[in-house]
Structure 1
Amino acid sequence: MLDAGNRQALTQQLRPPAGFRLVHAVGTTFTLDMTSALSVPLSFVAGSGEQFTNPVAVLTALRKVSHRVDIFCQAGNIRVPQGASDLLALLEPMVHQVSVRGGGLFHPKVWVLEFENDGDGERRYRFLCGSRNLTPDTSWDLLVRLDGAPTDTIQPGNTPLQEFLTALCPLASVPLEQSRVNRIHSLADRIATVEWELPEHISSLAFRPLGVQTDPEPESLVSYLRNPQTAAGLNPDTAAAKTIGYKKLVISPFLDDTLLGRLVDTTRTDKTQVFSRADQLDLIAPNTISNKRFCFRSFDDTITPETGDDGASTSGDDPTGLHAKAYFCDYGFQTHVLLGSSNATDAGFNKNIEFLVEMQGFKSKIGVDTILKSLEDVPFTDYSGTGGQQRSEDEKMRYELDQALRQAAAGIFLLDAVPEQCPDTSGMYAVTLEHDWTPPTQLKATVRLVTLRTPVFEVGGPSQPGDSSLRYRNVPLADVTPYLVLSLTDPESELTATAVVQGVLRTDPDGRLDEIVARQLDNPDKLRQFLLLFLSPEDTPPGAGSAGLPWRFGAGYEAGASAGLFETLVTALENPNASEIFSELEPVIQRLVKLNGESDDVLQLHALWSAATEALQMKETPHGL
């Protein structure tokens, strides 16, 4: 069940089954790295999944599937990208920041995926639940994957997952387009009928979302960890002391005394194994650390990776930190398991929005002893500290800065973009920002557009006393964006926290996203690559369709802008959605002709395109009209 040597990228788990294409994907994450988010659409397009470094492949995948992908993340936890790539703008429709009332966090890490076989319409579903954020982090994580197929009846066990999906849209701080809301609700309805294949050695499974619906049944592990007084525990004898297992294992990077106290079983002498991080164990109370019913181990991230003869690391995929969350409880011949996003803290079970999967199987296959053996290759060491340490002043300030950013991100940021009026600024826009953000008085706050390094405006300081309206001048159309970068600095400690915040672009100039695409496809060869990828079926690598052309991205190009396109265009004309596909590409073609109309390659490509569009018109026009 738990194989420490089985390491796979998230993109591998998102990839459709052979012969299938993506219908819809809904994902959730606490922290979102915008650059990492660009890799998600690549997972769904055959022939481009390994081409993250090729901007044309990324662009094509975004244009193909972004309307079928929705990613929800914690407001104030969108990381500022290292470079302001034009492609980030194409994430706008699919990224939705969430703010949780009551001070909790939006912390689930799940994916719900729907695939379809275009040949016979067969549909398949996949569910992923783990502890991994959508970031390039290489921490050690755990993941539950379920694959399933629809049935003719409602499966009652899917109700919690269905309710979780329908609860997402109202949490977004920027309202989703109604078409996206409808798509997510329709997916939730279809998920209700899915029968899931159970993982190996698992006999039963239940979905456990927290913070978005009623409590699970009293017999569940979640109920006990939330409140042992109102839970039933696993033992059926109501006269005996409640228990959730005589031998327990907890894996969690963060923990607190409250949650650990709920794991102590005073009726037994078996130790509860706790695997965590040394810096977090240092914060636990000394009487908890010294409790003989616990055995604490810490993740050792100081181990130097092995190197080969050439000096390069031979363990580049080795975990560099602990991020997994798991709970194993042996009771009788069974082991009960929780895997998901909840840390071993009271907030993780009672305050945040989280998602876990609760499973049950034979102890001989997934018991605590078996899992402990599987962890032998993971760098854990005996914790030798005594606990009782206090958080440093810098740590406290970082926490305050992060909290202030999340509160700011939940606010209202309205942007308007209007053309500049001066003749010498043709094609430029004035972007006005209005907001309701009042930064803490002891902190310095700044804001800028994510696409531009300057200007950076101070908010609430001497230069902007009480002013909630800012204006950015001479902004190119492709740099107009609803994404802002907010920064908070504590002058005393000189600590700074920064996050990307999603605003609302009330006046979105026509052709803005087309301009971004055109700026990427700035020569005929890039446009040809784009067309080859875009016009090919998602479940078939470009050139491997009905034309039978062998093709591999980045290789096999003949000379000339139109080489290889004829067969691809002919195949695309047979697509039932050909009109929609060609209409979306038309502005891109016209933009390139406008910029490079004298190029022989562009003229050749345009002639081929014109012939294809004429053929499409003839095909769709009734004879005799």
Structure 2
Amino acid sequence: MRDNAALDPENRALYSEILRAPAGYDLDAALATTYTLDFETALVVPATLAFHAAENRQETLETPLALLEGLERLSARIAIFCEAGRIKAVPKGANRLTALLEDTITEVTAPRGGAFHPKLWLLRFVPIGGHGAPRLRLALLSRNLTTDASWDLSLSLDGTVGGAIHDQNAPLVDLVGALPGLASGRPTPDHVATMVAALAEDLSRAAWEHPEHIRRIGFAVNGLTDQVWRPQIGRTLGVVSPFVTDGALQALCRGVDPASATLVSRGEELALLASETLTRFGRTLVLDEMAETEDGEESEQPSRGPVPARGLHAKAFITERYSSTEITIGSGNATAPALIGGQNVEVFATLSGYTSQLGTVEAQLAPERLGRFLREFVPYAPVTSPQEDAAEHRLEQVHRALAATRLVLRCEADEDGRIQLHLSAADQVTLPDNMSLRIWPVVAGIEHGINVTVLNAQEQLLARLALRDVTRWVGVRLRDETTGLEQHFTLGTELTDLPEARTAEILRALIENRDAFLRYIRLLLGDVSEAAKALFAAGQGGSHSGVFGNNKDTPILEDMVRALSGDGRQLRDIERLVTRLSDPDTGQSEVIPEEFLQLWETFRSVIREDRRHG
């Protein structure tokens, strides 16, 4: 936060900055909550955390060895909780590395029947030397873990873990502690539940560093109990919310002079509001079309130009009370499920500071700040289709039923070594008339799926796949045949009887030749940031320098000898890799050079000797 410009679009923060460890610290654990999720973003996150050089998302996605090593290093230390049935579909086939996210992602449902809607990151960093207290970082966002490029708002707080309990954190502690128990279908993995409990304990004792001009920070969570929180409103009101309902807005602006109330939302949402609601706001504003791009791609304009967006997604409630300005940000929209009934699980942070320092509501929305990207809303009659609305409702009902049932994928190896996937469901789901359902394994793609009319305990053969393409994720397409409306999404299943060799098969598919193997060895041995930079620079091409290097590269042998004097992590990583890529009977491998295997046997004997003396 800079000066008194809390909502100034020039205050930019890259996602990678939020995830980056402070100097002198390593990431120890990371927890994220989101409503929707896409696999590409989930794959990039571990690489971003592991390799600080990975600033470019597409560059990272096009470097599979970096994705692989990010997952290998950190997937067990990352927990992502998302709404069941809200993982985006991948009809053309997903990256097979999504299999390594199976224990990272847990699908959950809101306990009071609404949506699981909080968006936060909680990260714990530990000193590299092992001395000193851990640090926490809390990030509250308005965006989901997806590729959407929208106008968003975030708050990032750093703090230290001490001995005293801080009551202000109690709502957050309750939310984090409740997450494993909200799992839908497949239970939360034990190691994830243990990590989350430890994070909740540290969170209860976290003391936060306040942004400039902020005197107090308060947290609130809705949707876990029947107690519903909403911001306290003073003499003025500014609402920034992409989704709005009449009841929530009327409750928020009760007692506020319309001349002192401003509403910023999406035009299609404002068009659905009652005229009585609109008259309670002196100004109703929408994002100017010039501030958006059609495809959400990065703008080539300089930083003073329009912020690239795909619509408004930020949420904020701003008010002046006594001599203070209060800004509430978080996941909740100005809607009844978020602020009136409390059905949705939402998280909020309210920041308070002197109005003379933080600014008024009018100042936060002034033309030289956020206001320069806004324009007056011109009322219009929305075009609605009762038939399509009814179809959307039917699709959503089946969507929720599919997300609520426990799906099981049973693996069975056939004579050709391929895996037959047998699909069943704990609870029966029957399709209404004029609706079709197609289900497919996400790595294989929609063409390799089956059409389903009913899901129940009776198994159906879903597909026959190579072991490396088996995951617990299935793609789903629901279609209303009357209107042609469709919903595409991904569901998680409980994967049973999975052969232990799957991870090794995935590694063999990615490390397909000796060049790739040696590039990966360099990544394991090198400094994290420098190794990543080299790998991204090489892309998927390039050639290796041989086991003993050349005049441009540090020899691998030298790096391995240096690793012996460290903590041994790199050599343990190499042992894990060599074991997975080698034939268990002969110890040989098509992708590992023979001279490296001979060299590695020498290192193995040294490592064993060190362990005996350890």
Query: Which amino acid in 2 is paired with 1:301?
Result: E
Q: Which runs of 5+ in 2 are unaligned?
A: 1-5, 550-554
Q: Contact 2:419–2:464 (CA<8 Å) still a contact in 1?
A: yes
How far did 1:517 drift?
1.6
CA distance in 2: counterparts of 1:266 and 1:153, whole angstroms:
40
| SS in structure 2 at match of 1:486 | strand
Render the CA deviation track for 1:262-304: whole Å, top value 9, x for unaligned: 1234464533100000011011112222x15442111233657
Distance change (3 Å), C-alpha of 1:440 and 1:313: farther
CA distance in 1: counterparts of 2:27 and 2:42, whole angstroms:
16
Q: Contact 1:274–1:295 (CA<8 Å) still a contact in 2?
A: yes
Identity %: 28
How far did 1:528 drift?
2.0
Render the CA deviation track for 1:397-439: whole Å, top value 9, x for unaligned: 335424421331121111111211x3xx1x2122211113414
Matched, 1:318 2:304: no
Distance change (3 Å), C-alpha of 1:13 and 1:139: same
CA distance in 1: counterparts of 2:210 and 2:461, whole angstroms:
55
Residue equivalent to 1:614: 605
Moved more, 582-591 or 344-353: 582-591
Q: Contact 1:408–1:437 (CA<8 Å) still a contact in 2?
A: no
CA distance in 2: counterparts of 1:437 and 1:97, whole angstroms:
20
Query: Which amino acid in 2 is paired with 1:65?
Result: L
| SS in structure 1 at match of 2:482 | coil
Matches within 5 A, 1:69-80: 69-80=78-89
CA distance in 2: counterparts of 1:139 and 1:480, whole angstroms:
33
How far did 1:213 drift?
4.7
Distance change (3 Å), C-alpha of 1:214 and 1:112: farther
Render the CA deviation track for 1:56-76: whole Å, top value 9, x for unaligned: 111110110000000000111
Distance change (3 Å), C-alpha of 1:503 and 1:267: closer
Residue equivalent to 2:3: none
How far did 1:21 drift?
1.4
Matched, 1:282 2:281: no
How far did 1:48 drift?
4.8
Matches within 5 A, 1:74-113: 74-81=83-90, 82-113=92-123
| SS in structure 2 at match of 1:79 | coil
Q: Equivalent of 2:408, from 410, 414, 422?
A: 414
CA distance in 2: counterparts of 1:582 and 1:303, whole angstroms:
49
- What is the TM-score when the length of structure 1 is the normalising length? 0.86
How far did 1:609 drift?
2.5
| SS in structure 2 at match of 1:324 | coil
Residue equivalent to 1:127: 138
How far did 1:88 drift?
1.2
Matches within 5 A, 1:60-459: 60-81=69-90, 82-122=92-132, 123-173=134-184, 174-213=186-225, 215=227, 222-223=229-230, 244-266=233-255, 268=257, 270-289=259-278, 291=279, 293-301=281-289, 318-349=308-339, 350-364=342-356, 365-373=358-366, 375-376=369-370, 378-385=372-379, 390=384, 393-420=387-414, 422=415, 425=416, 427-435=417-425, 436-442=427-433, 443-453=435-445, 454-459=447-452
How far did 1:371 drift?
0.6
| SS in structure 1 at match of 2:212 | coil
Render the CA deviation track for 1:53-105: whole Å, top value 9, x for unaligned: 21111111011000000000011110013542111111111011112244300
Q: Contact 1:452–1:479 (CA<8 Å) still a contact in 2?
A: yes
How far did 1:571 drift?
3.7
Residue equivalent to 1:603: 594
How far did 1:581 drift?
3.3
| SS in structure 1 at match of 2:582 | helix
Q: Contact 1:258–1:346 (CA<8 Å) still a contact in 2?
A: yes
| SS in structure 2 at match of 1:115 | strand
Distance change (3 Å), C-alpha of 1:537 and 1:468: farther
Residue equivalent to 1:547: none
Residue equivalent to 1:230: none
Residue equivalent to 1:554: 537
Matches within 5 A, 1:460-609: 460=453, 468-536=458-526, 541-542=530-531, 553-554=536-537, 559-561=545-547, 563=549, 564-576=555-567, 578=569, 580-590=572-582, 597=589, 602-609=593-600
CA distance in 1: counterparts of 2:586 and 2:147, whole angstroms:
39
How far did 1:360 drift?
1.0
Render the CA deviation track for 1:135-168: whole Å, top value 9, x for unaligned: 1111000001000011122222222211111100
Matched, 1:13 2:18: yes
CA distance in 2: counterparts of 1:304 and 1:191, whole angstroms:
37
Q: Contact 1:285–1:387 (CA<8 Å) still a contact in 2?
A: no
How far did 1:378 drift?
5.0
Q: Contact 2:519–2:535 (CA<8 Å) still a contact in 1?
A: no
CA distance in 2: counterparts of 1:530 and 1:593, whole angstroms:
24
CA distance in 2: counterparts of 1:532 and 1:69, whole angstroms:
24
RMSD of aligned alpha carbons: 2.9
Q: Contact 1:518–1:592 (CA<8 Å) still a contact in 2?
A: no
